Structure 1
C-alpha cells in the first residue's frame, strides 16, 4: 500500500513543550510533516529547524492560519488563549490539536463543538495518554472484570514549580495545578471506566498568587469513588490505582510512561500475586499524531472528541469552584 499524503502541520508559537515533545513527535510520526512554526522572532524557530530543516518560520499566527499549505495546527499557547485560537484555526479551514485544557470553562467548549460540526474539521484536546497501549490494557482489564467490582480509584500527579514568572503560576494565563495536570487524574479515570462523576464530595486546597498549588478532591461515581491529588509544590510523583473487590490494577507511570518511570500495568490478585505487563518503546506523542492523521483520513475513530474533554473540564470547574470556597472559608 502506498504511503498516504502527509498531513502538513503548523505550530502556533515556539513554546518549550512544543519544542521538546510535540514538534519532534510530528517530525517522527508516519504520515505527518512539520512545515511551519509561527513566532514573534525567527531565532525562536531555529531550534525547531535544527531537527526539521524544512520547517519554515512564519511571522504571525494569522499568516500561518492563512497558509493553504498547512492542513493542521498544533496550539501550545497559554491556557486562556486556547479557545480563541482554536476557533480561528477552524474558521481558517485547519484541523486542530490543542494543548490541554482546551478551554477555561466547560461551557466554552460548546462553541468549539458547533464550529467543528459547521466546518467538518477534526479538533481535539491533546490528551495523549488515550493513545498509549497501557491504557487500552487497563480498559480491557476493567471491562473483563479482572478486579471484580470497582470500588475506589486513587490518582496522584505532583511536581515542584515555584517559578512565579511561569505561566502555570499566573492566574491571568489560566495557571494552577488543576488546569495543568488535573486533566490527567480526572480524565484518565473517565477514559478507563467510561463512567461519569455524580458529585464532588470533598475538597482540600491551597493557593498561591491566586492559583491552586495543592488540590485534593474526592468525587463519587456510581459504585466507586475517586480521590485525586494534584500539586505544583510537592516532589515529583505519578501514581494511579484501581481498587476492586477482587484485586487492584496499578500504574507506576500513568501519565508520562517511559519518562517518569517504566510503562507497566500491574494486576494485583487477592493472594498478593502480581501479573505485570510492560510496554516498551512507545512514544504516546508520536502515537497521538499518527492517530490524528488516521482520523482525518477516515481510517480510524478519534478516541477523545470534544464531548469527552468537556466532561473532564466540568470536573475541573467543580474542583476550582470548591477550591475557591475552601480557601475563602465559605
Structure 2
C-alpha cells in the first residue's frame, strides 16, 4: 500500500482524542470515513474531524472502495464479527483492546488473518508509548539486576453512571458486551505490556468476585501469575473504593533494586537502587495511539514492523480467562 486510507467503525469517545486525530497526523495515512449506528452522531463526528464520509451501516464502510484499512473501535462483543468481515474484504484491521470477548474469539480472528493473509493489529499502544519505551529500556539495562517479581495494584472509585439513581451500567461492566468488567478493560493493557517486556506468562490463577452489587460484572480480582523466565507476579484490582483510596501503582523488583511506575495515571518512573533514587518524568503525547499507528502504517507500507498484532493481542485475553475462571492452567 502507498497511502493508508482508514475507515473507523464505532467513532465513540476513544476516537475523539486518543486515536481518531492521529490517523491524519501520521505520514502516508488518512482518515476518509467513519461509521456509527446513529447516523446523526456519525455525521457530527465526521464534520468535527473533517472526515469526508460517514455511514450508519458497517458493510457500507467496509465495502467503500476508498477505504483500504479498518479501525474497529466498538465494544468487544462485535470485534470478531467486524474484523472477519473486513479481513475477508481484503482490508487490514486495527482493533481496539481487549481484542475480543475471550481467548476463543481471538483465536478465530487470528485464524481468519492467517487464512486470508490480511494483517490484524491490536490497540495495545503502550508498546510504543514513550513512557513505556523508557520503562522497557530501564528494565533491560539491568540497573535493578535480575528481575524477581512484579506487583500491580489498581483500585478506583465507581463511575457515577454505575451508582446513580437509574443504576444503568456502562457497557464496560456488562459482560455480554465487554466480556467482563473493568478488569478486562484495564488489566488487558497491563498483561500485554508485561509480556512484551518480561516474556510469556506460562500460568495464572485468581479469584474474581462481585462484592458491591452495583452491576453484574466482577468488581474485584486478585491474581498470581508466573512468567516462563521464572519471574513471579501478583495483582489486585478493585473498582468499588472511595476516591481517597484511588491507586494506580506497579513495581518491578530485582536483585539490586526496583522500578516503580503507573500504568494509567502518572507520568513518573522511579528507579530505586542501593545508590539512591532517580525519577524520569515522561508525559503522554496528545494522541496516545499515534506512535503505534505510525508503526502500523509503516508495516502496511512495507517499511517497518508493529510491536502489537493479533497473536500478541490475544495473549492478554487468554491470561484474563485463566484468572477469572478461577482455574490454574498451564500451557
TM-score norm. by structure 1 comes to 0.86
Identify which of 279, 282, 304 aligns with 1:279: 282
Per the alignment, residue 54 of structure 2 pairs with: 57
Q: Aligned runs of 1:228-247 on 2, under 5 Å?
A: 228-234=235-241, 235=243, 236-247=246-257
Per the alignment, residue 225 of structure 1 pairs with: 232
**CA contact 2:208–2:324 (8 Å) conserved in 1:** no
Change (3 A) 1:54 1:140: closer
Distance 1:100 1:79 in 2: 8
3-state SS of the aligned residue for 2:210? strand
Change (3 A) 1:121 1:297: same
Q: Aligned runs of 1:58-73 on 2, under 5 Å?
A: 58-73=55-70
Q: Runs of 5+ in structure 2 lacking a partner?
A: 163-167
Identify which of 193, 206, 218 aligns with 1:188: 193
Per the alignment, residue 207 of structure 2 pairs with: 203
Aligned residues: 312
Distance 2:17 2:148 in 1: 38
Moved more, 98-107 or 156-165: 156-165
| Cα deviation code 1:233-266 (max 9, x no counterpart) | 24453222101110011213x23xxxx333x322
**CA contact 1:157–1:185 (8 Å) conserved in 2:** no
Identify which of 66, 69, 77 aligns with 1:80: 77
**CA contact 2:130–2:284 (8 Å) conserved in 1:** no
Per the alignment, residue 297 of structure 2 pairs with: 293
Moved more, 286-295 or 167-176: 167-176
Identify which of 243, 264, 271 aligns with 1:267: 271
Change (3 A) 1:144 1:281: closer
Change (3 A) 1:132 1:150: same
Distance 2:37 2:203 in 1: 45
- Compute the displacement of 1:50 (Å): 4.0
3-state SS of the aligned residue for 1:233? coil
TM-score norm. by structure 2 comes to 0.86
- Compute the displacement of 1:198 (Å): 3.0
- Compute the displacement of 1:305 (Å): 2.2
3-state SS of the aligned residue for 1:250? strand
CA RMSD of aligned residues (A): 2.2
| Cα deviation code 1:139-188 (max 9, x no counterpart) | 23323322112111112333333523311121221240221111022222
* Shift >6 Å, 4+ stretches: none
Per the alignment, residue 327 of structure 1 pairs with: none
**CA contact 2:77–2:101 (8 Å) conserved in 1:** yes
Identify which of 212, 215, 224 aligns with 2:218: 212
Distance 1:279 1:30 in 2: 24
- Compute the displacement of 1:31 (Å): 2.5
